[in-house]
Each structure stands twice: as structure tokens, then as C-alpha cells.
Amino acid sequence: MPRLVLIVFVLLLGGCGFTLRGAADLPPQLRTLYLESSDMDSELLRELRRALQGNGVAVSADAGEVYSLGIGAEERSERVVSVNVNARAGEYELTLEVPWQLRQGATVVAGPERLSSSRSYLADPENAVAKSQEAEQILREMRQDLSRQLLRRLQALTL
């Protein structure tokens, strides 16, 4: 009986369009991609490579005949959103942007386009280390968000 309930539950989830977060059904032409960037060792590129491979995409070491996904340098900005009673920054907004485009040979298939992610966080003026650690955690989450945004863009392409 418990197995039957589990099977029915899984079928209902699949029938309503439920997919795991980060799962993308990319076009078959994008099952092998070449990644190119000015900084091939960036955190964003590592996150994107993990997301692509997690969705069954082989990341090629050679551009050859496959599509090339170009990722520009990430641009980070931080601004004060509010101040506290001591006239110090109380809340910051962190924004991360990255340009991208998809090419096949010399032909641009999609883009160039900019992806953007923003988050706000509270600042503790008494604990600079905590602020720095929180900002780094937020940056990791924003890179994951940018990777998911890019996967959704690639999923929506008709090639």
C-alpha cells in the first residue's frame, strides 16, 4: 500500500510539470557546449559548468562544430540602501551582472544580453567580519541564480 501511494504521488508531481530547481530541458543541439570567457577560472564559470553538467550538457574543450557560450566578466556593485540611527550604513544592496551570448561559429544565435541579480543584506557596523562573510554567501547565491537564469534562457531557445 505505501508503495502505491508513493507511485501515485510521483505521477501527480510529474503530471503537474514539477521539476527540481535548476533542472532544465535544453534543446538537443546544446547537449555539447564550448564555454569561453576572459576568466576561465571565475567562480561564476565554475558554477555554470556545474549547472550545465548537472543538466546533462557535456562541456567541450574544443569549439569545433559545437555552440559556443561566451560569458563576460562579472560586474559587481554595492550601494547603501538605508542608514541606521548612528548615520552609518544599515542595509546594502549587492548587484551582480554578467554579459553572455551564444554563437555557432561566427554567427550569433542569442544575445549579447546581460543577466542581473540583486540582493539586500543588513550591515552590522560592530562586526565587519560577519558583513564580509554574509556578502560572500550572498555572492555565491547570486552566481547560482545567474546560472539558473542562463539555463532558462538557453531552454527557451528554438534552434
Return the number of other C-beta atoms located less than 10 Å from residue 23's C-beta: 14
Would you say residue 7 lies in a domain?
no
pLDDT tens-digit readout, 14-64: 555 544 444 667 888 899 999 999 888 899 999 999 999 999 999 998 878
CATH number for the domain spanning 148: value is 3.30.160.150
Would you say residue 53 lies in a domain?
yes
Sign of CA dihedral 104, 21, 131, 122: positive
| Structural contact between residues 96 and 146, judged by C-beta atoms closer than 8 angstroms | yes
Residue with cell 531552454: 155
Would you say residue 121 lies in a domain?
yes
Would you say residue 57 lies in a domain?
yes
3-class state of residue 26 by DSSP: coil
pLDDT class for 11, splitting at 50, 70, 90? Answer: low
Task: Give the residue from 112, 120, 118, 119 showing the smallest Cα distance to 150.
Answer: 112
Sign of CA dihedral 58, 64, 67, 71: positive
Would you say residue 4 lies in a domain?
no
State the pLDDT at residue 16.
58
Would you say residue 94 lies in a domain?
yes
Would you say residue 137 lies in a domain?
yes
Would you say residue 68 lies in a domain?
yes
Bridge partners of 116, per DSSP, are 97
Better pLDDT: 116 or 17? 116
pTM as predicted: 0.77
Domain count for the chain: 1
Q: Where in the sequence is the domain holding 35, given as residue range(s)?
A: 25-156
Distance CA 153, CA 147 (A): 10
